[in-house]
Amino acid sequence: AKELAPCNIRVNAIAPGVIATDMLNQYSEVEISDIIKDIPLLRLGKPEEVAETALFLAEQEYITGEVININGGLWM
């Protein structure tokens, strides 16, 4: 981010936690329930929440070098 900032290129990342997508199909309902119990907000993330964060970062001209965790507080 620091190297590319003079070229007006912003570098940010989104680090999603457990998001309700087809990737979870490999887990049983019991396994998903156990995963949710470990998430402080007690729910899965929504794909829309990741997309909205990407849009937010794309619109901001003064944010660079950041990693946004979208994980319901699972890890910080």
pLDDT at 66: 98
Distance of CA 15 to the CA centre of its chain: 4
Would the pTM count as exceeding 0.75? yes
Domain coordinates of the chain in residue numbers? 5-70
pLDDT in tens, 33-75: 999 999 999 999 999 999 999 999 999 999 999 999 999 999 9
Over range 12-26, report the average pLDDT: 98
- What ranges make up the beta strands (E) of 1-76? 12-16, 66-70
Query: Facing residues of 35 across strands?
Result: none
